[in-house]
Amino acid sequence: MVATLDLHVKHVTRIEGHGHIRVRARDGKVEKAEWQVPEAPRFFEAMVRGRRFEDIQTIVSRICGICSVTHTLAAVKAIEDALGIRPTKQTDRLRVLAHYGEQLESHILHVGYLVAPDLLGHPSVVPLVASHPEVVKTVIALHRLGNRMMEVLAGRKTHPVRLQPGGFTRLPTEEDLRSLQQELTEAVPRLTALAEVVASLAGALPAFTRPTESIALVNPPTYPFYHGQIGSSDTDETVDAHEFERVVNEYVTPQSTAKWARWHRDSYAVGALARFRLNHEHLMPLAAATARTLGLTPDCANPFFNSVAQVVESVQVVERSLTLIDELLTTGIRDEPRRAEARAGEGVGAVEAPRGILFHRYAFDAEGRCERANLCIPTNQNHGNLQHDIEAFLPEILDQEPDRIRLQLEMLVRSYDPCVSCSTHLLDVEFV
């Protein structure tokens, strides 16, 4: 048995952004087990102050390259809320479609490029090109489809330009949507193949469980990413997004300088597994069948299964995109002028990033210039839960070889799909 361990994993690899793991044990007892975030601060809440509402999306999209559509939509929803703009049904549907593209792209990137190498025993996806060419081809095809959806709907793969307050700066054509529908149809067997591969490898995920509170958007009878109220696995109460601070309850802990979040327990989890736990009843048929194939159940308390939930959601967004495009084509794409006028006001936008629920709040003056902003990012909400998982998991694996302990702790961090480059805020903004 390894009684003594001193492990400092600097700059955990295959995650978005920078994080360290610091672990120390002596005589079989854990003395220190910490998740640390050393990412350079970027100060977005300050950067948007004084800016025109028309420039907010351009700035806050740059918080995160991999959640840029989600940050865009949170901002656009909050700005519309503040300016009293109600988007049309067509605008909502097209935004949701673009948002599905980002969920698919991000989930496939995470499962295929960042997690799969652990399950197949390789340090990166590069050796998989030779050892598992079919899997890599499937992953690339699905990843490209997610990007294609964002390109067709939002104008670019990363940092969209068409999604603006009041509507679309340019609409996709019906021909664009039909060709996307064709590609989505072709993706279904690829997703089934990917789910089979993941099902065959899920045994390589550590059998660790720690029950926690899951928080996500809920909007029955749908499986929501864009609309809805804040729900929790610990209560039937739902909270309007305007009161998100009541759910997030940021607090300072002496163990970490980053603020943590808690609602009914010491911490909570957001992300694909949280969404699945709260909304599994509303999955489309193939997505529900995929969950069964993968052995994913609503009482799942194993954080490593977040990656499995991402596979289920990849099926969900493709399946739902197909029906959504049907709905759009039945109505036909109508030319709608985009209107957004400045006025004083405050607004909130809540949407699901691939890695969990995201909140933006802005206040504008009468000229439409931003007075204050508060951005509450999913990875920040997960920091406390990840810390508690590390504390609970480490004693269970302390008798293993140090390299194996290190790998499993890194896998635990990766399972949260952290996006540290957007989460480096402590958020002590005074909002009155």
* Contact set with another protein (CB under 8 A): 11, 13-18, 38-47, 49, 51-52, 55, 58-59, 62-66, 68, 109, 113-114, 117, 123-126, 129, 140, 143-144, 147, 155-159, 161-162, 164, 168-170, 252, 257, 410, 421-422, 425-430
CA distance 423 to 119: 27
State the virtual CA torsion across 339, 342, 346, 351 in degrees, nearest 10.
30
Q: Which is nearer to another protein, 276 or 304 (CB)?
A: 304
Q: Which is nearer to another protein, 93 or 144 (CB)?
A: 144
CA distance 274 to 432: 30
Q: Which is nearer to another protein, 83 or 217 (CB)?
A: 83
Q: Which is nearer to another protein, 72 or 233 (CB)?
A: 72
Q: Which amino acid is at 350?
A: A
Residue 164 gets the label, from left (phi > 0), alpha (psi -120 to 50) or beta, of beta
Question: 176 in helix, strand or coil?
Answer: helix
To another protein, the closest distance from the beta carbon of 385 in angstroms equals 21
To another protein, the closest distance from the beta carbon of 46 in angstroms equals 4
Classify residue 30 by burial, with Cβ atoms within 10 Å: 0-12, 13-18, 19+: middle
To another protein, the closest distance from the beta carbon of 149 in angstroms equals 13
Q: Which is nearer to another protein, 17 or 231 (CB)?
A: 17
Place of tokens 């995650």: 15
Q: Which is nearer to another protein, 157 or 320 (CB)?
A: 157
To another protein, the closest distance from the beta carbon of 97 in angstroms equals 16
β-strand partners of 358: 351
To another protein, the closest distance from the beta carbon of 213 in angstroms equals 25
To another protein, the closest distance from the beta carbon of 124 in angstroms equals 4
Q: Which is nearer to another protein, 44 or 260 (CB)?
A: 44
To another protein, the closest distance from the beta carbon of 108 in angstroms equals 10
Half-sphere exposure of 80 (CA within 13 A, CB side): 21
Place of tokens 């994913």: 296
To another protein, the closest distance from the beta carbon of 64 in angstroms equals 5
Q: Which is nearer to another protein, 38 or 220 (CB)?
A: 38
CA distance 241 to 22: 35
Residue 243's CB is within 10 A of a number of other CB atoms, namely 12
The pairing of strands 213-218 and 163-164 is unpaired
How many residues can be counted in the chain? Answer: 432
Write the CA distances from 9 to 2, 212, 403, integer angstroms: 18, 26, 11
Q: What angle do CA 263, 265, 269 make, to 5 degrees?
A: 75
